Structure 1
């Protein structure tokens, strides 16, 4: 697949994500998962055949490295806009200064789970990248996660014998 020349903004993002250490971390994650790397579109590096089971995703981005358990041809045939979605995540790493994106993303995922019972639907980063483009189905705000936490807290505080019964 021939790649087009990078725009000045894409060159800045590529250099910035290298300097802020998010792309080197992405290359390390890809190597740990024994993924095969190759140049991709828009200054991204594609790493396919990732063998670790975490995170459970069709693809995920660390810096300018898009990592996929399968191959990108299969992924893009199923989700044609997924590379646009993943490129937005590369920009998010750049805008967040690199590695600080990771805890911010985890907080956004936790908030999303509390509000919707799903880690993506209410996640500001996933919404900005386009839920549908990333292959996500939007869950409504239902406080499903908050209700689950409330039930757990009630079990711990009001009905500790139920917790003991569950652990047997």
Structure 2
């Protein structure tokens, strides 16, 4: 629990949790305490971002009707720790780059996304997709 408190304090100071709370209020989500020191913002209905749940700081946004499991809470808690490790809001562009990389490699924004893999693909409800574009470190052969 000490780690959760430290993470929570850090995400408060780095402004990621306040941003999540403002987003929840603007979206008229119901706020309630969750496990692991997280805050659930229930009722996110906007189409972006996709997925059943997403995290901003220590605030976990959930879609209407989603039943959060202990595994999914652990997955979202790992994302909250990633916000802290990235010093808050820099997590957002870093995550976007990781999702773009994964989409390019697999056609799926999660399968090769370092943040999703670090949080646990299966815990987050993802299915790992195979790599469809490989990288080669061999030099190109010259013609002629």
TM-score, normalised to structure 2, is 0.88
Counterpart Cα distance in 1 of 2:48 and 2:28: 13
The residue that corresponds to 2:133 in the other structure is 143
What CA distance in whole angstroms lies between the structure 2 residues aligned with 1:130 and 1:136? 9
Question: Distance in 1 between the 2:115 and 2:84 partners?
Answer: 13
Q: CA RMSD in A?
A: 1.6
Larger gyration radius, structure 1 or structure 2: 1
Answer 1 or 2: higher relative contact order, Cα 8 Å, separation at least 6.
Answer: 2
Q: How far apart, in 2, do the equivalents of 1:143 and 1:34 lie? A: 41
| Deviations 1:44-83, CA, capped at 9 Å, x for gaps | 00111112221111000000000001245x243xxx5111
Task: Report which stretch shifted further, 63-72 or 15-24.
Answer: 63-72
Q: Give yes or no for contact 1:121–1:127 (8 Å, CA) kept in 2.
A: yes
Using the size of structure 1 for normalisation, the TM-score is 0.76
**CA pair 13-120 structure 1, distance change in 2 beyond 3 A:** same
Q: 1:93 offset after TM fit, Å?
A: 0.1
Distance, in Å, in 1 between the alignment partners of 2:107 and 2:27 is 28
Following the alignment from structure 2 to structure 1, what is the Cα–Cα distance between the partners of residues 36 and 74?
A: 9
- What residue number does 1:21 align with? 15
Moved more, 27-36 or 107-116: 27-36
Distance 2:25 2:104 in 1: 33
SS at match of 2:41: strand
CA shift, 1:34, in A, is 1.4
SS of alignment partner, residue 47 of structure 1: strand
Cα distance, 1:10 vs. partner? 1.1
Unpaired runs of 5+ in structure 1? 1-6, 147-168
**Whose helix fraction is larger, Structure 1's or Structure 2's?**
1
Distance 1:116 1:31 in 2: 35
